Amino acid sequence: MLRVSPMISIQDLVKQYGKFTAVDGVSLDVSPGEIHGFLGPNGAGKTTTLRMIAGLLKPTSGRVLVNGHDVATEPEAAKASLGFIPDRPFIYEKLTAGEFLRFHGGLYGLGEDGLDGRAREMLELFDLGRWENELVESFSHGMKQRLVMSAAFLHRPRAVVVDEPMVGLDPRGARLIKDVFRTMSARGVAILMSTHTLEVAQEMCDRISIILKGRIIARGTVPEIRAMGDGHDDHLTSVFLKLTGGSGLQEIDEII
């Protein structure tokens, strides 16, 4: 079988804050075209891990490669291959959607050539085409979130890391995001997305890694994780029983 090298590769990543270990030896690979769910309760270490992948936070130890580039030693090349969508994005509200995207494109070194067209394509993809010349301050939460996502995909990244993409979205907004992620994964983009919600992970992700207290406690496809529910570890078993038998809408916080 042909082995594809991972688009995102995390190796034994650790982040300590003083004596507290927020991320405790996480390893994770995401292949081109894969949507990988990063599932865990509040405080599990999801955001900390994602920020280290994006190069926004320095790991205590371990390595992150994006498209084969080490984030620590080749940050420019790694960042050029990556789109990052934070959980609480900042957008300067006095810009229009179009200006925001062109500004963002400039930050990534996209030339004038083709930038307008690409910006328009992304706005259309995220159902913001009509809003190109409107100020961001007039946007709803969902629209702002979609604008940030259109910016993250603007420079044609090979990998996208997204922190809690579904929070605060209505069903139509959530549907749209799911469709866009699927479209992008079909184009070969590797997507790593954090979520609390089993339903989101099950519906969207090819594989899921479950993180608890900074450590990965399970990984696999949904059927594989279901099969792990037969294991011996009491705690894990209860998690997996809930995973398989739960309502699906349940938040993992309630489970663990």
Ligand X SMILES: Nc1ncnc2c1ncn2[C@@H]1O[C@H](COP(=O)(O)OP(=O)(O)OP(=O)(O)O)[C@@H](O)[C@H]1O
Query: 9 or 197: whose CB is closer to ligand X?
Result: 197
Whichever of 10 and 123 has its CB closer to Mg ion, that residue is 10
Q: Where are the alpha helices (DSSP H) in the chain?
A: 46-53, 75-80, 97-107, 115-125, 141-154, 171-186, 198-204, 222-228, 234-245, 252-255
Judged by CB under 5 A, which stretch of 5-13, 43-51, 133-141, 233-241 contacts Mg ion? 43-51
Least distance (Å) from ligand X to the CB of residue 94?
29
Q: What are phi and psi of 13, to 5 degrees?
A: -80, 130
Q: Which residue in 9, 47, 49, 209 binds Mg ion (CB under 5 A)?
A: 47
> 42-72: buried (b, 16+ CB within 10 Å) or exposed (e) per residue?
eebbbbbbbbbbbbeeebeebbbbbbebebe
Please state, as a whole number, how many other Cβ atoms lie within 10 Å of the Cβ of residue 154: 22
In the range 71-100, which residues lie near Mg ion by CB under 5 A? Answer: none
Nearest CB to Mg ion, comparing residues 143 and 211: 211
Q: Which range touches Mg ion (CB under 5 A), out of 46-54, 93-101, 195-203, 206-214?
A: 46-54
Rounded to a whole number of angstroms, the minimum distance from the CB of residue 152 to Mg ion is 17
Q: Which residues bind ligand X (CB under 6 A)?
A: 17, 20, 22, 40, 42-48, 196
Name the residue nearer to ligand X (CB basis): 43 or 188.
43
CA 21, 255, 249, 10 dihedral sign is positive
